Structure 1
């Protein structure tokens, strides 16, 4: 049987500009050391541009494990570099939605995340890719990127998920539905949509959207909120949030290892909360791409 024990040595890299990063850095160091994790180095990153170079230096030094503290954007922007490496990717959920932590079953509590790093297991997971840009959890087009692009940083830092909801209500009147075309290699699907999600994991925006998505399935799920009215999108989010039985009736899912997505008009895409693509795109999956720290 393969040994799935997590390393006891790690390098800690925290995005101090994430929602709770600055406050959590010292506390996380103390908790990790109390639980027997030896920190070879610890970095509180004040400038987001320094995040990736710091992680790359840790990977070049062949650190047994690198602990990334930040929101979903920080995690997604750094996980690409773990491909082909035996270094374990561990996380401290310090953002607003913390979708990837929820997908892994870690939750959003700092102490629980540290406990996972101290006593959990290492697990191989798939990564999704949009035109070669790898992501851990989810991407979206429609209203979500519009919110991500315009929401004031101070609003989401202060109010968290409530800030996103307030801003969504403000920008929704500018939004228009779009024509979605998904080619799964077997059939071309066409529909009107108000939102489309590309899911490697179960959560997006802090909410469980696709129970069928699996980090180890070898497939990507494209989930469309079909129709042309924003009322249907609002109902879809409401039904999903409260796990109503009708939630599955508000979405259509397509899945595969390679899917071509086109929209009319072209749509911006947020990948794990950060704007970084625009349709048309090709979505693929990298099977068992990286090691991550997961609960046992």
Structure 2
């Protein structure tokens, strides 16, 4: 990023001037329930926000983010799920403003990848006691993403999972919904080209991750949101029974027993082609189709994190 303060200068400005703006999606799983509690805790931490917005209609989210940024805060505090936070990331990418995360969604993959507390009070304490860090930004064609681009079963799950089920049971709603879809799902062939090398696979599910978590569970310990690499991995190979079994294990235990199909494919840039062409779920929004070129922009976004976060 250019024309921005150093991370140390930015951290000091937040602590000294306390210029923050707040946007909370009250349609998220916990946003409506905790909206006033979040504001009270932010005020109790010594912040007097320049603007406070609740978002009832998701179509107004971008407008509220723009209005909040127009107040020129040093820290933009955003509450919601991964889709809300991904929208915020797109707004502040390459800008001299840091994102403060209130994890109010179902899976909170972005907050988990940053190592942030998932309780509201803990997350808000980070705004005062933490530090500014620069993390990677993923790009799917020209669309930025914070956490994950996925293809296959998960795209259908995202469009099928019931909001009431997410509110009732949280993260297990996704694998349980997948169990209803898998019996009729057909595998697809994918070719991932990285540094001139082609990797071919047959699978029901392919993910390309910038972050370290998927569905609220850790994918692998050596995946990082701050290592300058994207990671592609498949779940369950092309064998439906194996993926059904692994999905059932995940629904009941919260873990993938295995990541079938061999090692991860890692790189700064990837070309993904599929047969047949497929829709892509990019941080919760289905807007692109294969073929897609994916790349990572190192240090593309500023965030507020714990002091212990390893900022490369």
**TM > 0.5:** yes
Change (3 A) 1:160 1:79: same
What is the TM-score of this pair, normalised by structure 1? Answer: 0.92
User: Of the candidates 140, 156, 165, which is equivalent to residue 155 of structure 1?
Assistant: 165
Q: Secondary structure at the match of 1:183?
A: strand
Structure 2 unaligned runs (5+)?
1-5, 308-312
1:1-296 mapped onto 2 (5 Å cutoff): 3=8, 5=11, 7=14, 8-225=18-235, 227-236=237-246, 238=249, 241-242=254-255, 247-248=258-259, 250-296=261-307
Alignment length (residue pairs)? 294
Change (3 A) 1:243 1:191: closer
User: Which structure dedicates a bigger proportion of its chain to strand?
Assistant: 1
Deviation at 1:174, TM superposition (A): 2.2
Counterpart Cα distance in 2 of 1:78 and 1:35: 22
Contact 1:269–1:278 at 8 Å: present in 2 too?
yes
SS at the partner of 1:50? helix
Cα pair 2:174 2:215 within 8 Å, conserved: no
Deviation at 1:220, TM superposition (A): 0.9
**TM-score for the superposition, normalised by structure 2:** 0.88
Structure-2 separation of matches of 1:82 and 1:94: 19
Q: What is the CA–CA distance in structure 1 between the aligned matches of 2:211 and 2:173, rounded to whole Å? A: 24
Give distance in 2, aligned partners of 1:242 and 1:207: 7
> What residue number does 2:3 align with?
none
Gaps of 5+ in 1: none
Asked if the contact 1:88–1:292 (Cα under 8 Å) also holds between the matched residues in 2, the reply is yes
* CA-CA distance at 1:5 after TM superposition: 2.4
Q: Report SS of the residue matched to 1:39.
A: coil
Task: Tell me the SS of whatever aligns to 1:266.
Answer: coil
